[in-house]
Amino acid sequence: MQMERHGFQAEVSRLLDIVAHSLYSDKSVFLRELISNASDACDKLRYLALTEPGLLKDDPDFKVNITIDKAGKKLTIADNGIGMNRDDLINNLGTIARSGSAKFMEELAAHKSTGGTEDQKNLSLIGQFGVGFYAAFMVADKVEVLSRKAGEDAAWLWTSDGKGEFTLAPAEKAGRGTDIVLHLRDDASDYLDAGRLASIVAKYSDHIQLPIHVTGDGEDRKVNQAAALWTRSKSDVSEEQYRDFYRHVAHAFDDPWATLHFKAEGKIEYTGLLFIPSTKPFDLFNPDRKQALKLYVKRVFITDHCEEVLPHWLRFVKGLVDSEDLPLNISREMLQQNPILTKIRAGLVKRVLGELAKKAENDAAAYGEFWNNFGAVLKEGIYEDAEQREPLLKLARFRSTKGDGLVSLADYVGRMKEGQNAIYYISGDSLEAVSKSAQLEGYRAKGVEVLLLTDPIDEFWIPSVEKFEGKEFKSVTRGGADLDQVKADADAKPEEKKPAAEGIDNLIALMKLSLKDAVKDVRLSSRLTDSAVCLVAEEGDMDMRLARLLKQHRQ
Ligand code: ADP
Ligand code: MG
């Protein structure tokens, strides 16, 4: 067999070009990315070995070694994780992988139109988002990946200078796993210093569950604590450590908005370390997006694709749960409808909602930020999860015709007008459109607050909720949304004089004749103050926006 040449996917070439020119950014993130990959690779194999212990052979202890070769100006990051075969190398290191680098490219496109030079923007983004494996090219002008997949005999050598192509060739390797060999650029030779490496690892990767050793340069030392972070007590973990751990488990690059670390004890025992992100992921509403909580059993990683562990409407929550009660040899299939998992799920939902309620009460501004990011997802829960409807309605926040801030339903009900019996809302595609609607005129004139709903999900949860604190939800586009019983504010505009019925009857008759079947009826209204006409739906008919949405989907 001989050497094969492959071109990088176009996006990878573009990414590599940016990475290579990131001259002034904090290059040490390459170490965070490569150690994170090594740790993921060990987690994957640890799981497979539960059912296939033979995969571990005589090398059961997972570890990461960072070896310094001063003379050769090389740095090697080696793991004994799952390894990659030929196809894995082509697929994983030649295209943009899902998380880190994909997010980076996405943000890059989004930031295109803002000010500053191209390079400055790219630099600040790399620091924030990381570029995964490709960060290796920030410090190296040549990268070799020597890998052998667990359970396979063949090893492969992947080589690239990061300039459009990589090569693949059969190779020799004693054990399983992956060696990433970095041929350091001249301006990166300071990474050949053991003390420097140790302090970087301590900074970014202290929470990594496996031992990380730095060898060479006359030393061999373990540079991290290697204890699963979530097993430590809260008081032993700093905010920074939580943040770095969050970035690692969630493949995220922002700071957590909230961190929940707890141990549930009693009939079933588990530890949870959950994070709510402070930024909204770009694929939040992508139907393929899976819930991303990692499941561990007694410190062993089982899966990060367990749909059972949190409901879909909490899919923005990141982190992990570690169960003491599930059997270690549980297969991913066995996780479905598992009674222990059902209990864990209920416990986690309660914790998350409890935390949100606390934040909503203590810091309304911060809670507003959360709501703007993830409120639309929580509303799915109102619709899907009858059991959580009450607490979720309490957590919900809305724009309304009263001011620019967010209001809760309790706020709304608390300031309802005398004689007002319903919670009025208007829904549409944008705040701008709904707040200009002629249908609001009558409500404004009477000083009646109206909620402005602009999320598509609003059309679904509203009909599923009968009442809040005894008050019905009512669309202003409904014919029966009757304002006559509401007493006008003293300071509100005086009620317009009833239009003279004379002549109006003729006009209405004329309109009915010309509009024919396009409308059910034409009626005289006291609801409008400035506009001449508006469209409304008949009481009991479908809300107008819902009808439009369904029509779009040909239902
Ligand atoms: P991410 O880690 O976000 O998926 P990366 O660019 O860091 O993206 O890595 C791309 C992929 O390459 C990983 O998802 C993994 O499949 C593979 N990979 C990288 N490093 C290793 C390694 N040390 N061992 C096994 N697979 C690896
Ligand atoms: Mg990675």
pLDDT digits (tens, 9 = 90+) for 263-293: 999 899 999 999 999 998 877 877 666 667 9
425 DSSP β-pair partners: 451, 475
pTM exceeds 0.90, yes or no:
no
Q: Please, are residues 413 and 319 in contact by the beta-carbon 8 Å criterion?
A: no
Cα–Cα distance between 461 and 400 in angstroms, integer? 18
Residue 37 alpha carbon to ligand 1 centre in Å:
5
Cα–Cα distance between 450 and 543 in angstroms, integer? 15
Give the pLDDT of residue 252. Answer: 83
Ligand 1 atom with the smallest distance to the CA of 33 is 7
ipTM of the complex: 0.99
Give the pLDDT of residue 465. Answer: 92
Give the pLDDT of residue 410. Answer: 96
Tell which one of 8, 31, 37 to mutate to probe ligand 1, the residue whose CB is within 8 A of the most ligand atoms: 37
Give the pLDDT of residue 35. Answer: 93
Give the pLDDT of residue 540. Answer: 62
Residue 34 alpha carbon to ligand 1 centre in Å:
8
Give the pLDDT of residue 52. Answer: 92
* Closest protein CA for atom 8 of ligand 1: 132
> Closest ligand to 99 CA?
1
pLDDT in tens, 348-370: 999 999 999 999 999 999 999 99
Tell which one of 64, 89, 92 to mutate to probe ligand 1, the residue whose CB is within 8 A of the most ligand atoms: 92
Cα–Cα distance between 136 and 27 in angstroms, integer? 9
Question: What is the torsional sign of CA 438, 439, 444, 445?
Answer: positive
Ligand 1 atom with the smallest distance to the CA of 44 is 25
Ligand 1 atom with the smallest distance to the CA of 37 is 20
Give the pLDDT of residue 37. Answer: 92
Q: What residues does ligand 1 touch, defined as CB less than 6 Å away?
A: 33, 37-38, 41, 79, 81-84, 92-93, 97-101, 132-133, 178, 251
> Closest ligand to 36 CA?
2
Give the pLDDT of residue 499. Answer: 54
Q: Please, are residues 400 and 451 in contact by the beta-carbon 8 Å criterion?
A: yes
Taking 70 as the pLDDT cut, the residues of the chain under it are: 1, 23-25, 97-101, 103-104, 110-130, 287-291, 479-482, 488-502, 526-527, 538-546, 548-555
Give the pLDDT of residue 23. Answer: 60
Tell which one of 40, 47, 182 to mutate to probe ligand 1, the residue whose CB is within 8 A of the most ligand atoms: 40
* Closest protein CA for atom 17 of ligand 1: 92
Specify the DSSP element, H or E, that contains 78.
strand 74-79
